[in-house]
Every structure is written in structure tokens, then in C-alpha cells.
């Protein structure tokens, strides 16, 4: 079933009106018409099972059949702080992080970050990254579209995460898988948790110490060294398993 996101002001008592780019997609790409069912989310707390009533070049009107307020979100808010990787790896990371339940993705510039984005390039990248997030949210049945923020410096990202309940930073020299198990198992429903992932080449020792000073806890992900596009997804997979009701 196709999935779309709308704003609260598009929801009526018995119907929902879809406007904007989704209209062209429904009408000319998917070639959907009256009688076909769609899933519509308000991006906050409700999923609506709807039946299309009419399709024009300006809007799609769908009748509300049922409302689901249970959602498919993880019971804890997981923030992925991702060191900027090379090439198009960020798109892959965002797509999979959204599928695995991340609440927000924060691109981070660290000392070993190779990619440098000026304001114009960052705006272009953000548009693309947010589009990837929305597509992944639709595909995976998310109730919300996880936000992809602007690029933050490492220190600014740490300051942003300082008030979280738990923040972890996988580090190749960290030891003790048992401690990692204990830290990740301590993340419970209702909490805000941050995951810091370095770019290619990882974090410098001084960055780990800075992270410690902000309350982040270094953890190990095992004996094997994971790529930047694998590490965060590994942690998200574990948390999804632990938190999923």
C-alpha cells in the first residue's frame, strides 16, 4: 500500500486532501484513481487508512476509513550523529537508519572528515538527504519523517547531546563487550539516546576524550573494525531489537 505524509491542516473530519508534489506522483506516476486505498500519516501521532475519492491535477481527496494511533515508532528517541562520509554513503546511511527507527540524523564534521561542504553545497545535500529520509519513512511505514539536520561541528553536536539520557560513541580501541551490553540495555522507553559515529578513519583520541567530558560513553562493537556506513546501523539494529515492544 502506498504511503503519504500530510500536514494537520489537510485533515478534515471525514476526509484528507493531499496537495503538492504527491498529487502528480499519485495521478501521473502511480496512476491511482477513485476506490484505491492509501496510508496517510500526519507525521506526529496518527496513521489514516483512506480510500481515494477523487483525483485532479491540483489535489487528491481521500475518505478516512480508520485511524491508527499506535504507530510504528521505537519507544525511545534515537539520534544518529554521523561523521560525514565520502561519496554518496550518507544517503545509504540515512535510508537504513530511518528504516531501523532513528528519530533524527545529525551530520557531523570531525577532524578526520574529508568532505567539506560550503553553504550552497550543504543546502543541496540537505534537500537530497531529507528526500531520502521521507522516501525511507514511506517505504518502512514510519509514523514520522525523521529530520536530517544541518551539519554540526563535533563539539556543537556533543553540546546538543549533553542533556540526553545516554550517549554512546563506538571506538575501535574501547574494550569490554559486556560493558557495551550493559550500556545499550540501559536504554529504555521514553529515553533520548545519542549514537556518535566517526567518518572514514574514525575518531582521534582527543575527540574521544572530548566526548567523555560531555558525558558520552565509549563502547566497543566487537573485535572487527566496522566501516562508517555499518557501525551506526549495527547499534541501531541492536537497539531496535531491545526496544521493540
Same domain, 114 and 222: yes
Is the domain of 175 the same as that of 131?
Answer: yes
Q: CA 113 to CA 158: how far, in whole Å?
A: 16
Query: Along the 245 residues of the chain, how does pLDDT read in single tens digits?
Result: 899 998 889 999 899 999 999 999 999 999 999 999 999 988 877 889 999 999 999 999 999 999 987 767 899 999 999 999 998 899 999 999 999 999 999 999 999 998 888 888 899 999 999 999 999 998 998 989 999 999 999 999 999 999 999 999 998 777 788 889 999 999 999 999 999 999 998 899 999 999 999 999 999 898 888 899 999 999 999 999 999 87
Q: How far apart are CA 94 and CA 90, in angstroms?
A: 6
Please, what is the Cα angle at 76 between 72 and 79, to 5 degrees?
100
**82 and 63 inside one domain:** no
- Indicate the angle between helix axes 177-185 and 228-243, nearest 10 degrees: 50
Q: What pLDDT, on the 0 to 100 scale, is given for residue 96?
A: 98
Both 47 and 130 in one domain: the answer is no
172-175 contacts, C-beta under 8 A, 24 or more apart: 172/202, 172/220, 172/225, 173/205, 174/218, 174/219, 174/220, 175/220
- What pLDDT, on the 0 to 100 scale, is given for residue 224? 85
Domain range holding 184?
77-243
- 61 and 88 assigned to the same domain: no
Domain final position from 34, 51, 68: 68
User: Do 201 and 126 reside in the same domain of the chain?
Assistant: yes
Q: Which three cell numbers stand for residue 26?
A: 499519485
**Domain shared by 121 and 45, yes or no:** no
Q: What is the pLDDT of residue 176?
A: 80
Query: In which residue are the cell numbers 550517549 written?
Result: 167
Q: HSE, CB side, 13 Å, CA atoms: give it for residue 136.
A: 25
Residues 118 and 157 in one domain: yes
- Domain match, 230 and 190 both: yes
Number of domains in the chain: 2
Picking from 46, 68, 90, the residue at the C-terminal end of a domain is 68
pLDDT at 129 (0 to 100) = 96
Sequence-distant (6+) residues with CB within 8 A of 151 are 84, 107, 108, 109, 117, 122
What's the CATH code of the domain at 219? 3.40.1280.10
> Sign of torsion, CA 117 119 125 131?
positive
149 plus 210 within the same structural domain: yes
Amino acid at each position: 500500500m502506498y504511503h503519504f505524509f500530510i500536514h494537520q491542516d489537510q485533515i478534515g473530519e471525514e476526509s484528507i486532501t493531499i496537495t503538492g508534489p504527491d498529487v502528480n506522483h499519485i495521478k501521473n506516476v502511480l496512476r491511482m484513481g477513485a476506490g484505491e486505498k492509501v496510508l496517510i500519516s500526519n507525521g506526529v501521532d496518527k496513521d489514516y487508512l483512506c480510500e481515494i475519492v477523487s483525483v485532479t491535477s491540483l489535489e487528491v481527496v481521500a475518505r478516512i476509513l480508520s485511524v491508527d494511533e499506535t504507530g510504528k515508532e521505537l519507544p525511545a528517541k534515537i539520534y544518529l550523529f554521523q561523521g560525514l562520509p565520502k561519496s554518496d554513503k550518507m544517503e545509504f546511511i540515512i535510508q537504513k537508519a530511518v528504516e531501523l527507527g532513528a528519530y533524527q540524523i545529525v551530520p557531523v564534521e570531525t577532524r578526520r572528515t574529508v568532505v567539506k561542504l560550503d553553504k550552497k553545497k550543504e543546502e543541496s545535500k540537505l534537500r537530497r538527504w531529507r528526500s531520502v529520509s521521507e522516501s525511507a519513512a514511506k517505504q518502512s511505514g514510519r509514523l514520522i519523517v525523521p529530520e536530517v539536520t544541518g551539519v554540526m561541528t563535533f563539539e556543537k553536536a556533543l553540546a546538543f547531546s549533553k542533556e540526553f539520557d545516554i550517549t554512546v560513541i563506538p571506538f575501535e580501541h574501547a574494550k569490554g563487550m559486556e560493558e557495551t551490553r550493559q550500556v545499550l540495555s540501559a536504554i529504555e522507553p521514553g529515553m533520548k539516546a545519542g549514537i556518535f559515529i566517526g567518518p572514514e578513519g574514525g575518531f582521534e583520541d582527543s575527540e574521544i576524550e572530548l566526548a567523555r567530558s560531555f558525558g558520552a560513553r565509549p563502547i566497543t562493537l566487537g573485535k572487527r573494525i566496522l566501516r562508517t556506513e555499518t557501525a551506526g546501523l549495527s547499534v541501531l539494529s541492536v537497539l531496535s531489537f531491545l526496544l521493540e515492544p
